[in-house]
Amino acid sequence: MQLIACPFCGPREEVEFTYGGQAGVAYPEDPAALSDDQWAHYVFFRDNTKGRFAERWNHSHGCRRWFNAVRDTVTYCFEKPAGTTGTAS
Amino acid sequence: MSPRTPGSNRSGADASTPHFVRGGRPASDQLPDHPDFLWRNPEPKKSYDVVIIGGGGHGLATAHYLAKNHGITNVAVLEKGWLAGGNMARNTTIIRSNYLWDESSAIYEHSLKLWEGLEEDLGYPILFSQRGVLNLAHSLQDVRDSVRRVEANKLNGVDAEWVDADEVRKICPIVNTSADIRYPVLGATYQPRAGIAKHDYVAWGFARRASEAGIDLIQGCEVTGFTTDGDRVSGVQTALGDIAAGQVLLCASGHTSVLTDMLGIRVPIQSHPLQALVSELLEPVHPTIVMSNAVHVYVSQAHKGELVMGAGVDSYNGFGQRGAFHIIERQMAAAVELFPVFARAHLLRSWGGIVDTTPDASPIVGRTPYENLFLNCGWGTGGFKSTPGIGWCLADTIAHGEPHPYVAPFALDRFVTGALVDEHGAAAVAH
């Protein structure tokens, strides 16, 4: 099973983690000001990148904290996060 | 005649002229003739009235119905790999139409009716077997949802009935219907007209008919870009050169967003690995199709004898056509829970496809911001069953430049208007 490097706990098995999708999608500063089209894009539309993809992960069966990771969506290999310990793949 | 060797005539072979000589190489005059090729492999022309990107089931079916229903044959199907080598070769071949919402049951029932006549239409054996599907209920909420879906199906002219646990056992004796298991079977919905088919033969049958009609099926032809002219797509750039196009249809399933990204169109799909597996060949033990969402697995037995099983997607986005083994383990555990007799079967092989999931678990079909570019994606985990139905509707859409009524509810703009067709769970969809 693939090991995923939790920045807080180190490498743990994939089953301990929950996927959170694309990283860096900020909640709109003024949601009421958005058009229907802009709101739809915030709610439903995410990048579907083939290749390097910045994602949110939650160590749900461990420390339960969220973190960002960059992963290749073709090889499924994680890039080693900066400033953390442990190997990512 | 075996569809694998359409040109050979095994039953008529003369016993005095054996095809192979034991212990040695057969002489060339003793070799059987090469079977007839099912389709041509032409060089692409410079221009087509219609270019279909994606040579899977949906693309090939659309090509067939463009020729058959509308007489449109100046058509190319561009496939980056080989014909029907993606999800069309990797699905679990379940065909049914017992979806909850009117919009869904309309298109899937249209498709099921076409399946019922497809072998004659294609003049090709597809091993379509209407052996029925049981969608098991394991909780009171499952029971309520299932009964509601049965009533909705009946109102839409879809064959459906609610059966209790005893009847489940009569239809499929190997299901564990005892009361002392963790998730007891409380009953099931049953659609007798549901079935399975041999996915490869379906693709080959469509490809053969389309090729006969003069449509060019071009393999090894990856689309690398588009040329646009205002609000029109004027052509596609491919590994085999530029091709001008009157109309363009995207049928690329999990890779659709790779194409739409080139055009600056955002489509709310997320591509995930979906795995399936087969057991070794077994004597016939499983007479129908069984699906369970709560104990997540779906199982049928192929004509050859393998148990064919699938379950949910791997959680993360992935384009790798493979997934993690713990998903397979979970699906085997579910299968053995429901079918104790399977505990003795051995896993033969497992594989993965790339499914294009959407926020409401319904497909995205129809118009795009480019007036001559049409979209067909987002079928997620259930695209195989829709193959003839969507091919029919897409051909009609292209011929008239207007979405067919059956696909109109699945337009991209529903995510802005809010008119979602939310089939998550509602449709016995195993996600």
* Chain segment B114-143, per-residue pLDDT in tens: 999 999 999 999 999 999 999 999 999 999
Q: How many helices (H) and strands (E) does chain A have?
A: 1, 5
Which chain B positions have a beta carbon within 8 Å of A74's beta carbon? 318-320
Which of B269, B317, B416 is the closest to A73 by Cβ?
A: B317
Q: What pLDDT, on the 0 to 100 scale, is given for residue A80?
A: 76
Q: What pLDDT, on the 0 to 100 scale, is given for residue B124?
A: 96
Q: Do B269 and A37 touch (CB under 8 A)?
A: no
Which of B320, B359, B417 is the closest to A74 by Cβ?
A: B320
Which chain B positions have a beta carbon within 8 Å of A44's beta carbon? 268, 359, 415
A52 reaches B (C-beta below 8 A):
no
Q: What pLDDT, on the 0 to 100 scale, is given for residue B16?
A: 43
Choose between B5 and B25: higher pLDDT: B25
Which chain B positions have a beta carbon within 8 Å of A36's beta carbon? 416-418
Quickly count: other Cβ atoms within 10 Å of residue B154's Cβ: 12
A42 reaches B (C-beta below 8 A):
no
Which chain A positions have a beta carbon within 8 Å of B263's beta carbon? none
Handedness of CA B58, B61, B67, B68 (dihedral sign): negative
Which chain A positions have a beta carbon within 8 Å of B418's beta carbon? 36
Give the nearest chain A residue to B262 (CA atoms). A49
Q: Do A21 and B270 touch (CB under 8 A)?
A: yes
Q: What pLDDT, on the 0 to 100 scale, is given for residue A1?
A: 84
Which chain B positions have a beta carbon within 8 Å of A76's beta carbon? 316, 318, 320
Q: What is the pTM of this model?
A: 0.91
A12 reaches B (C-beta below 8 A):
no
- Asked if the model's pLDDT at residue B6 lies above 60, the reply is no
Condensed to tens digits (0 to 9), the pLDDT of residues B362-398 reads 999 999 999 999 999 999 999 999 999 999 999 999 9
* Rounded CA separation B122/B144 (Å): 40
Condensed to tens digits (0 to 9), the pLDDT of residues B187-244 reads 999 999 999 999 999 999 999 999 999 999 999 999 999 999 999 999 999 999 999 9
Q: What pLDDT, on the 0 to 100 scale, is given for residue B31?
A: 80
Residues of chain A with pLDDT under 70: 81-89
Condensed to tens digits (0 to 9), the pLDDT of residues B153-176 reads 999 999 999 999 999 999 999 999
Percent of chain B residues topping a pLDDT of 70: 92
Closest by CA to B404, choosing from B151, B69, B148, is B69
- Nearest 5°: the CA angle A80, A84, A88 is 35
Structure-token match 């076409």, residue found: B114
Q: What pLDDT, on the 0 to 100 scale, is given for residue B24?
A: 56
Q: Do A40 and B255 touch (CB under 8 A)?
A: no
- Averaged pLDDT of chain B: 92
Q: Do B316 and A76 touch (CB under 8 A)?
A: yes
Q: Both tokens of residue B201?
A: 């033969």
Which of A18, A44, A71 is the closest to B415 by Cβ?
A: A44
Which chain A positions have a beta carbon within 8 Å of B375's beta carbon? none
Q: Do A36 and B315 touch (CB under 8 A)?
A: no
- Asked if the model's pLDDT at residue B26 lies above 80, the reply is no
Could you tell me how many residues make up chain B?
431
A65 reaches B (C-beta below 8 A):
no
Q: What pLDDT, on the 0 to 100 scale, is given for residue B425?
A: 66
Q: Do A21 and B417 touch (CB under 8 A)?
A: no
Average pLDDT of span B312-332: 93
Which chain B positions have a beta carbon within 8 Å of A40's beta carbon? 415-416
Which of A2, A21, A40 is the closest to B416 by Cβ?
A: A40
Choose between B34 and A86: higher pLDDT: B34
* Rounded CA separation B388/B394 (Å): 10
Residue B426 pLDDT level (bands cut at 50, 70, 90) = low
- The complex's ipTM works out to 0.91
A1 reaches B (C-beta below 8 A):
yes
Which of A40, A46, A75 is the closest to B270 by Cβ?
A: A46
Which of B266, B315, B326 is the closest to A19 by Cβ?
A: B315
Q: What pLDDT, on the 0 to 100 scale, is given for residue B40?
A: 95
E strand segments, B138-240: 161-164, 187-191, 195-196, 216-218, 223-229, 232-238
* Rounded CA separation B156/B101 (Å): 9
Q: What pLDDT, on the 0 to 100 scale, is given for residue B9?
A: 40
Condensed to tens digits (0 to 9), the pLDDT of residues B261-277 reads 999 999 999 999 999 99
Q: Which of B256, B262, B319, B354 best tests the A interface by mutation, with the highest count of A CBs <10 A?
A: B319
Residue B293 pLDDT level (bands cut at 50, 70, 90) = confident
Closest by CA to A22, choosing from A59, A53, A50, is A53
Taking one residue from A and the other from B, the number of pairs with CB-CB distance under 8 angstroms is: 59
Average pLDDT of span B244-271: 97
> Contacts by B180-185 with C-beta closer than 8 Å and gap 24+?
B181/B337, B182/B337, B183/B138, B183/B139, B183/B294, B183/B295, B183/B337, B184/B138, B185/B136, B185/B137, B185/B138, B185/B338
Closest by CA to B52, choosing from B44, B378, B363, is B44
